[in-house]
Amino acid sequence: MSAPILESATHDDAIMALRRERILTATGLAAEQFLSESNHRTAFQAALRLLGEATAVSRVYVFQSVPSDGGESLWSQRHEWCAEGIAPQIDNPDLQNLSMVDAGFSRWVKELSAGRAIFGPVREFPEAERPILFAQQIRSLVVMPVQVHGRLWGMIGFDDCLSEQGWNEAIVSCLRVAARVLGAAYERMDYKTHRDHLLDDYQLLLNSVREVIFRVGDEGRWSFLSPAWAELTGWSIAESLGRPCTDFIDPEFLGTARTTMVGLFSGQVETSRWEGRVRLADGGSRWFVVNARRLPTAPGRGAEIVGTLIDVDDTKRAELALIEAKRAAEAANRAKSEFLSTMSHELRTPLNAVIGLTESLIEDGATLEPVRTQRYLEIIHRSGKQLLAQINDVLDLARIEAGQIRLVPARVDLSSVCSSAVEGSRRSAEAKRLVLTFTRPPAPLCVMADEKLLRQVLNNLVSNAIKFTPEGGQITLGASLSEAGLATITVRDTGIGIPPEKLALLFKPFSQVDSSLARKYGGTGLGLTLVDRLVRLHGGTVDVASETNRGSVFTLSLPLAGSPSVSSP
């Protein structure tokens, strides 16, 4: 008689083993769903279906318990799978924000909180629990606690509406594994949401900081650049990443950039800070303070540098402008001091001659030979004229600077003004055996100018040419119409020329190419400044081209008569 019992026991065991195996297989597949499916709702649906089919139940569902303001937790159904023909409960309003205690399920809360499952036929459940369960046609069920981060998060339930399925500890322990998988899936989701929030936060931070945050890899190439890079330099991040960072450094600062990178990569220094210009996409450049630090080498990664680029362009340019202004003020001050010393030297020389020679005439005049007296008088006369010319220069410039020169414009023929300049200087040119000529233009050229002032300009240029051209040289004046439609006068000499670095100083007041007192040529350094100011008053410009020891060409460009040009001071 015992054999059939044994046989049936073996048969039941086999069925049980099969049920358990099906549940565990489904649990494994459900876990895979959670890992592979990025949409968590889809993953839950698939997992519940797998578990429902494996357990052959009518419904599988998940409830979440959320603490309410009142302190009690409210339970809501979140996911559900139903077998065919079974009424879903996911939209049942009674199963949302449900107070388990009020609904008569305090036993469930207690059991689930203690980590225990509730299972069995509903008819054997306490009376208070039955109505709500029968209302859902449930005949037997299993509910398992779902724990997330070690706390009761909710429950997973399996309803049987068609029969009273026999649940036992062996099956329930398999379902416990499924509940754990579910809990782990929620933990992972939580972690992912947390991570996404963190990433969003970092992105927000990166987007809002004005500083560029960068990372440079072992080969000195950008491996990360924050959005401020594109904003401040105009280079897109995509085109910059992977390129050597030195490609973006202004050539003037390449040396510094390379030295600091070598120092950081080799570990000689841990941090560095330097100031330099970065090349911009539009061809310009911008000042940045570069702060860089060597990252501790991570396994599998080469050495890396991280840091920030802080935009200091406005302050740096303002600082440089201040330095330049200070330098210019100092240079002007120096030029003024030099002027004072050369000026007094220039004035003293003819004055000393006047005083010395007049003293001789007073003391020995009666006995001096007439020829000698005549020579003394000539020197005194020349010195007086020289003094007057110098004082006139100073006064003229002062009047121009004070806006007190009044032009008397009239139609002036360039040929006539140039010819008279040549004639006026012929004697001093001949005294140095210089050939002084004027090449007439093919057709008459007229400008509206103050003739007296224009003569003064030409006389200045011609007397400079004579002064700075050694004996035997040539000085040529020319007048022509430029391509731009301007009347031009050129004064060309074959003299000592002007070194290129001094050209910029020429038209600045009190500037002389050689400002030492021991210089070879006299002068106050005001002549060309006067020329420049006077020509500008006429709406024109002066240019100079020169080559040391070959000669110089000064070119005046003036608007032709009829053009609206001559400005009032």
Nearer to ligand ADP, 90 or 505 (CB): 505
Question: Could you tell me the CA-to-CA distances from 393 to 458, 522, 525 in Å, in that order?
Answer: 14, 14, 10
Nearer to ligand ADP, 253 or 468 (CB): 468
The two tokens of residue 327 are 């330098």
Burial readout 447-475 (b: 16 or more C-beta within 10 A, e: otherwise): bbbbbebbbbbbbbbbbbbbbbbeeebbb
From CA 143, how far away is CA 111, in angstroms rounded?
Answer: 10
Nearer to ligand ADP, 386 or 512 (CB): 512
Nearer to ligand ADP, 60 or 400 (CB): 400
Provide, rounded to whole angstroms, the least separation between the CB of residue 397 and ligand ADP. Answer: 10
33 close to 47: Cβ distance less than 8 angstroms: yes
User: Number of helices and strands (H, E) in the chain?
Assistant: 13, 17
Provide, rounded to whole angstroms, the least separation between the CB of residue 518 and ligand ADP. Answer: 14
Provide, rounded to whole angstroms, the least separation between the CB of residue 333 and ligand ADP. Answer: 19
Nearer to ligand ADP, 414 or 528 (CB): 528
Nearer to ligand ADP, 312 or 503 (CB): 503
455 close to 429: Cβ distance less than 8 angstroms: no
Provide, rounded to whole angstroms, the least separation between the CB of residue 511 and ligand ADP. Answer: 6
Nearer to ligand ADP, 112 or 491 (CB): 491
Provide, rounded to whole angstroms, the least separation between the CB of residue 408 and ligand ADP. Answer: 24
Provide, rounded to whole angstroms, the least separation between the CB of residue 207 and ligand ADP. Answer: 58
Nearer to ligand ADP, 257 or 506 (CB): 506
From CA 84, how far away is CA 92, in angstroms rounded?
Answer: 18
* 471 CB-near residues (< 8 Å, 6+ apart): 432, 433, 434
Dihedral angle, C-alpha 325, 327, 333, 335, nearest 10 °: -120
Q: Which residue, among 350, 130, 309, 106, has the nearest Cα to 227 in the 3D structure?
A: 309
Provide, rounded to whole angstroms, the least separation between the CB of residue 459 and ligand ADP. Answer: 11
Provide, rounded to whole angstroms, the least separation between the CB of residue 416 and ligand ADP. Answer: 23
Nearer to ligand ADP, 448 or 498 (CB): 498
Nearer to ligand ADP, 309 or 465 (CB): 465
Strand partners, 309: 212, 290
Question: Could you tell me the CA-to-CA distances from 12 to 141, 425, 427, 443 in Å, in that order?
Answer: 21, 136, 141, 129
| Cross-sheet strand order for the sheet of 285-295 | 222-225, 212-216, 304-311, 285-295, 271-279
* 31 CB-near residues (< 8 Å, 6+ apart): 181, 184, 185
Binding site for ligand ADP (CB under 6 A): 464-465, 468, 493, 495-498, 506, 512-514, 523-529, 552
Q: Read out DSSP for 380-418?
A: HHHHHHHHHHHHHHHHHHHHHHTT------EEEEHHHHH
Provide, rounded to whole angstroms, the least separation between the CB of residue 537 and ligand ADP. Answer: 17
Q: How do 486-493 and 446-449 pair as beta strands?
A: unpaired
Provide, rounded to whole angstroms, the least separation between the CB of residue 468 and ligand ADP. Answer: 3
309 close to 277: Cβ distance less than 8 angstroms: no
